Structure 1
Amino acid sequence: MRAKPRWIDPLLPLFLAVLQVMATMGAQWNQPDRVPVDLLGNALLVAGPLALTVRRRHPALTLAVTLLTTAAFIGRGHAYGPIFFSPIIALYSAVVLGHRRAAWVASAMAYVFFLVYTTWLAPVPSPGLWHTVAIAAVMGVVLASGEFVRARRDRLAEHERVEQEEARRQASEERLTMAQELHDVLAHNISLIHVQASTALHLIDDHPEQARTALTTIKHASKDVLTEMRSVLNVLRNGAPRSPTAGLGRLDELVERSGLPVTRRITGRIRALPPGVDRAGYRIVQEALTNATRHAPGSTVTLLLEYGPRELLIQVTDSGGGPPGESLGGGNGIPGMRERATALGGALTAGHHGQGFRVEARLPIPEETE
């Protein structure tokens, strides 16, 4: 996870350099046995903070420079205290920015240096065990804080990545749904236009009035397909919200446009359906009527809608009484209907029924309430 520059970044090294120089003067008063800070000592006090200016781009290098300047400063015998600010910040930054191994190795090396220095090299006797433990505790707190912040950032980054993946997946599924909607609209209306155009050509000389009816149906079907295509394409182009363009409430005009004699029967208590079930039910009926128009023109169709307590039953049965219609291609009508039903937790069967053909879908719906 790449850290963003902050306004404090250029000011922190300057502030820390002034703080270390000024505070070391005060620390010198309390440690009269330590070597007074000279020009080189002040240079070491400033070098550590200056290295922090590149801690986001080169955290490992910054950590190495701050630890070396601190070791040199302490090794020359200067006062303990403010000089430790720079390596603490560099150590924390290295862990947070993902250079964990470098941070832990550098911490171990620094601890060994301070242990050796205070035990054998310092001009004054060792402060004792508590001082050794205190150094380890401070380093442990800094490392643990960095690990906690880094882990939290990683979790947030992973959460954001998962959300983006989910958004992309949902967008992809929505596009597939719209593609299926577009397929159903085109398949139904173009099949209807094809059949009605063939009828109009056949009747135009001997029965012009019937031919006029077929041409009127073609006009309405072409208008509907253009309207629904614009609706789907507008969503793809603009991402605009779209109200459902198809539902069982539009069965009357769907049946009227089919050009087939359809007997409708509705049983059970009619009630509002979830949008997905409503749209899927409409498309299943639409596809079944399209198949009847294609493959059994002139047949009669029975349409049954049965509203059960927890299930909507849709049956579309044609008599198969006419000669086989002209096929417009293999198509994916029945698999597409079955996928719609399965996606909602329902089921769909399709097959020969007597001399005709029946499509039967069972879609789950909310339990009926009083």
Structure 2
Amino acid sequence: MPRPVDAALAGAVGVVSVLGSVAASRHGHPARPLDWFAFALLVAGAVALLWRRSAPGAVLAVTMVVTLTYLLRGYGMGPIFLPLVVAYLTAAPRSPRWPMYALPAIGFVVVLWGVPWATGQEAVPAAGMVGIGAWLLTLVAIAEGIRQRREAIRARRQRAREAARSAEEERLRRASEERLDIARELHDVLAHSLSMINVQSGVALELLDSKPEQAGVALASIKDASREALVEVHAMLRTLRRGGELAPLAPAPSVADLDALVERARGAGIDVTTTVSGAPRRVPSAVDLAAARIVQEALTNVVRHSGEAAARVQVRYLPDRLEVCVDDDGRGSGASPGAGAGGGIAGMTERAHALGGTLTAGRRPGGGFRVEARLPLSDSDSGEDATA
């Protein structure tokens, strides 16, 4: 259906064409006065403009036929060219350049020599030829300007769509990273605490009748572990409800305090020894947290799968990296950590890779299991963190 603006344009062009042609016929010397066919041609050229957007090529062809027929009938010059101009300026920017730009040259030849020869009228004088030629060149220039503007608008819209698509992809990527961060944090908080609770509850059940005082110690450990887990989970949930980054209210674990990191594992019956080599120093907070979580998760796997084993935690401060190694002696009766560790090893690996480091986990040749992480240090980041 034609747009209202196209209907208004067609109506205005029709009125100007009819009134202008009547005035030109009265004051000029046409070979043939206007009759019903002339008015029909004038109206047909204007009506065709109703479909100039939906079928620009067809409308241009119709207005060309109407204009040429009008001239060949000898009705004389007048605003009959107006519908043709509108149709041309609509079709030219949407069509290949050179065919459309050749049409004015063809029209120049037809109007100045073809029509006078066919109708027996006098040829257009040289001054008129120059004027018509200049007018046609102006028409081509206007069509090219419209084309350039359309292409600029199209390019701008394309850039906007690409920017919107990139923004959406970035939003989805960030959402995915946030989900992974949440999953890792929940796993680190809950898996560590629940593993300790599971071990201590088993100990409490075994000692409840024979050694109730030791069962009480295990139950106290369960209470402490569950309380700490609830505090961290509630803090995380409050942060998520506010829409901020994960920033637990409790102090973040740190490899600088190994005794605190291994306290729960020791409470679960694991004989944990710690070793620190190199010159201890402040490291970037992201590296410190990742190293601490790796130690916690590795000890959680020892508790979960190795029973009453012994473990050794080593932290090595090197000039360009921080290394963390957790070994167990494999004396427990549980399954291998690699066989049933769930997402623990995957989470530790993701943490190391996110910092540009590496993590290896597997059985040792002499028995037991080893988790070893190498986390690179950035001098600039380390310096900033140390002076914070």
Are residues 86 and 224 of structure 1, via their aligned partners in 2, closer, same or farther at CA, if it must alter by over 3 Å?
Answer: farther
Tell me if the contact between 2:57 and 2:91 (Cα under 8 Å) persists in the aligned partners.
Answer: yes
Name the structure 1 match of 2:55: 61
1:339 to 340, 350, 370: 350
2:371 to 342, 359, 362: 359
Decide which moves more: 67-76 or 252-261: 67-76
Deviation at residue 289 of structure 1 after TM alignment: 0.6
Root-mean-square deviation (Å): 4.4
Deviation digits for residues 131-156 of structure 1, max 9, x if unmatched?
A: 65554444333333322332332232
Name the structure 1 match of 2:73: none
1:142 aligns with 2:149: no
1:219 to 216, 223, 228: 223
Deviation digits for residues 139-198 of structure 1, max 9, x if unmatched?
A: 333333322332332232223222212322332233233334333444323322221111
Deviation at residue 273 of structure 1 after TM alignment: 1.5
Deviation at residue 334 of structure 1 after TM alignment: 2.8
User: What fraction of aligned residue pairs are identical, expressed as a percent?
Assistant: 34
Name the structure 2 match of 1:87: 87
User: Using the alignment, how far apart are the partners of 2:97 and 2:332 within structure 1?
Assistant: 83
Deviation at residue 18 of structure 1 after TM alignment: 4.8
Larger C-alpha radius of gyration, 1 or 2? 2
User: Using the alignment, how far apart are the partners of 1:263 and 1:224 within structure 2?
Assistant: 23
1:317 to 310, 316, 327: 327
Provide the secondary structure at the position in 1 that maps to 2:129: coil
Decide which moves more: 203-212 or 17-26: 17-26
Deviation at residue 361 of structure 1 after TM alignment: 1.0
Provide the secondary structure at the position in 1 that maps to 2:54: helix
1:293 aligns with 2:306: no
Matches within 5 A, 1:127-206: 127=129, 133-206=137-210
Name the structure 1 match of 2:111: 118
User: Using the alignment, how far apart are the partners of 1:285 and 1:359 within structure 2?
Assistant: 9
User: Using the alignment, how far apart are the partners of 1:28 and 1:127 within structure 2?
Assistant: 24
Name the structure 2 match of 1:6: none
Deviation at residue 115 of structure 1 after TM alignment: 4.4
Provide the secondary structure at the position in 1 that maps to 2:370: strand
TM-score if structure 1 supplies the norm length?
0.71
Decide which moves more: 40-49 or 323-332: 40-49
For structure 2, the residue ranges without an aligned partner over 5 or more in a row are 71-76
Deviation digits for residues 81-105 of structure 1, max 9, x if unmatched?
A: 765664366348xx6xxxx5x5669
User: Using the alignment, how far apart are the partners of 2:84 and 2:62 within structure 1?
Assistant: 11
Matches within 5 A, 1:219-258: 219-226=223-230, 228=232, 240-245=243-248, 247-249=252-254, 253-258=260-265
2:243 partner amino acid: A
Provide the secondary structure at the position in 2 that maps to 1:358: strand
Deviation digits for residues 294-345 of structure 1, max 9, x if unmatched?
A: 233333433333343331221223344x432367935243343223212321
1:262 aligns with 2:272: yes
Name the structure 2 match of 1:107: 100
Provide the secondary structure at the position in 2 that maps to 1:162: helix
1:256 partner amino acid: E
Are residues 196 and 47 of structure 1, via their aligned partners in 2, closer, same or farther at CA, if it must alter by over 3 Å?
Answer: same
Tell me if the contact between 1:51 and 1:66 (Cα under 8 Å) persists in the aligned partners.
Answer: no
Are residues 191 and 147 of structure 1, via their aligned partners in 2, closer, same or farther at CA, if it must alter by over 3 Å?
Answer: same
Tell me if the contact between 1:187 and 1:290 (Cα under 8 Å) persists in the aligned partners.
Answer: yes
1:200 partner amino acid: A
Aligned residues: 346
Tell me if the contact between 1:344 and 1:364 (Cα under 8 Å) persists in the aligned partners.
Answer: yes
Tell me if the contact between 2:67 and 2:81 (Cα under 8 Å) persists in the aligned partners.
Answer: no
1:279 to 263, 266, 289: 289
1:347 partner amino acid: T
TM-score if structure 2 supplies the norm length?
0.68
For structure 1, the residue ranges without an aligned partner over 5 or more in a row are 1-8, 53-58
1:294 partner amino acid: R
Name the structure 2 match of 1:4: none
Tell me if the contact between 2:89 and 2:143 (Cα under 8 Å) persists in the aligned partners.
Answer: no
Are residues 323 and 306 of structure 1, via their aligned partners in 2, closer, same or farther at CA, if it must alter by over 3 Å?
Answer: closer
Tell me if the contact between 2:239 and 2:247 (Cα under 8 Å) persists in the aligned partners.
Answer: no
User: Using the alignment, how far apart are the partners of 2:291 and 2:50 within structure 1?
Assistant: 70
